[in-house]
């Protein structure tokens, strides 16, 4: 007999991730789908949900998550674009609702979380590093949240190790062919029909290379992580960034 004990609503339910999450919540033995919301819907009492899963667009996420917190509902957030400024605003709202947990995860795939962790560990040993993220062409943001987070982790690890800037003799790049820089780390974004979500972290030192690559070939890869978030978020009050904090990897 199943015990559908966690009531879950999904915001962004008509999207690629939101619809996949609705199916996963329906199928899991311990979760019940009680609400599907998308753009223009009145979020109201969120269908009586215990936990909301939010996969919308960067411009809307803070407003949606704030509404959930003000309703006293825990939130698992997959939407990207969480700047420090937005996180600060959210933390202030959550501080007034002390029992509420919010998980913001740039990537729910276990391999992507490990890729970030391994890249952070490798960072101090290599003079050169570049991040290449590759996604489907319908993605609205660049770089990916995963690439931004990876670059941030690597940049901090390099600073802690006393490493300077990555070596780069480029003086002429009128079209931006060298990509963007995030926390000092070069990041390149590829958009290609046929791809889902992929990333390579390229490390280089004299006479050797290390490449760490992760591929999400299907959105099913994100679902175990999303369900882990749904099951654990109530036990983690406050704002948590990164699913690794729920997995004993932090
Ligand atoms: N953390 C993770 O593991 C992953 C994160 N993502 C992120 O999730 C987000 C969504 O990605 P996709 O599902 O591929 O996009 P999508 O474009 O397929 O879906 C977004 C949905 O949000 C809806 N929406 C737009 N404005 C809204 C609003 N104000 N309120 C409620 N819903 C609204 C849209 O109508 C659409 O149905 C992106 O930020 C993406 O980067 C995507 C895959 C994995
Ligand atoms: O939009 C996507 O598809 C994805 N978005 C997230 C990101 O920006 O990192 C996670 C994953 O890369 C898929």
- Hey, CA dihedral for 233, 237, 241, 246, is it positive or negative? negative
Task: State in Å: Cα 197 to ligand 2 middle.
Answer: 6
- pLDDT given for residue 115 in this prediction: 98
| pTM for this model (two decimals) | 0.96
Mean pLDDT in residue range 66-76: 98
What is the residue with the minimal CA distance to atom 40 of ligand 1? 79
Mean pLDDT in residue range 120-130: 98
- On whether residue 155 sits in a domain, the answer given is yes
My answer on whether 227 and 201 are in the same domain is no
Q: Is the pLDDT of residue 2 over 80?
A: no
The verdict on the CB of residue 107 being under 6 Å from ligand 2 is: yes
- pLDDT given for residue 250 in this prediction: 77
- On whether residue 42 sits in a domain, the answer given is yes
Q: Which atom of ligand 1 is closest in space to residue 222's alpha carbon? A: 3
What is the residue with the minimal CA distance to atom 8 of ligand 2? 144
Q: Which of 135, 188, 198, 214 is catalytic?
A: 135
My answer on whether 237 and 153 are in the same domain is no
My answer on whether 80 and 166 are in the same domain is no
- On whether residue 71 sits in a domain, the answer given is yes
Task: State in Å: Cα 75 to ligand 2 middle.
Answer: 18
- pLDDT given for residue 3 in this prediction: 81
Radius of gyration in angstroms for the set of CA atoms belonging to the chain, rounded to a whole number: 19
My answer on whether 158 and 88 are in the same domain is no
| Cα–Cα distance for residue pair 129/86, rounded to 1 Å | 28
Catalytic, 135? Answer yes
Token pair 């982790």 is at which residue?
153
Task: State in Å: Cα 107 to ligand 2 middle.
Answer: 7
My answer on whether 192 and 133 are in the same domain is yes
ipTM of the shown complex: 0.99
Q: Is the pLDDT of residue 88 over 90?
A: yes
Bridge partners of 197?
135, 216
- pLDDT given for residue 156 in this prediction: 98
């Amino acid at each position: 007999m199943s015990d559908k004990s966690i009531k879950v609503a999904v915001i962004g339910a008509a999207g690629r991730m939101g619809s996949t999450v609705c199916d996963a919540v329906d199928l899991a033995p311990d979760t019940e789908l009680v609400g599907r919301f998308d753009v223009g819907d009145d979020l109201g009492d969120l269908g009586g949900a215990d936990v909301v899963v939010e996969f919308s667009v960067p411009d809307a996420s803070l407003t949606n998550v704030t509404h959930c917190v003000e309703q006293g509902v825990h939130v698992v957030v997959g939407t990207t674009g969480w700047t420090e400024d937005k996180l600060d605003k959210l933390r202030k709202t959550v501080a007034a609702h002390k029992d509420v947990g919010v998980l913001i995860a740039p990537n729910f795939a276990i391999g992507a979380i490990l890729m970030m962790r391994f890249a952070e560990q490798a960072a101090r040993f290599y003079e050169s590093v570049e991040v290449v993220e590759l996604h489907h062409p319908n993605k609205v943001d660049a770089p990916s949240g995963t690439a931004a987070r990876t670059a941030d982790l690597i940049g901090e690890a390099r600073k802690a190790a006393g490493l300077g800037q990555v070596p780069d003799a480029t003086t002429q790049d009128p079209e931006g062919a060298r990509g963007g820089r995030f926390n000092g780390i070069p990041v390149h974004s590829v958009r290609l029909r046929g791809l889902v979500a992929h990333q390579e972290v390229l490390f280089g030192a004299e006479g050797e290379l290390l490449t760490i690559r992760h591929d999400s070939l299907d959105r099913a890869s994100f679902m175990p992580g999303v369900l882990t978030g749904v099951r654990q978020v109530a036990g983690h009050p406050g704002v948590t960034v990164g699913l690794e904090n729920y997995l004993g990897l932090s």
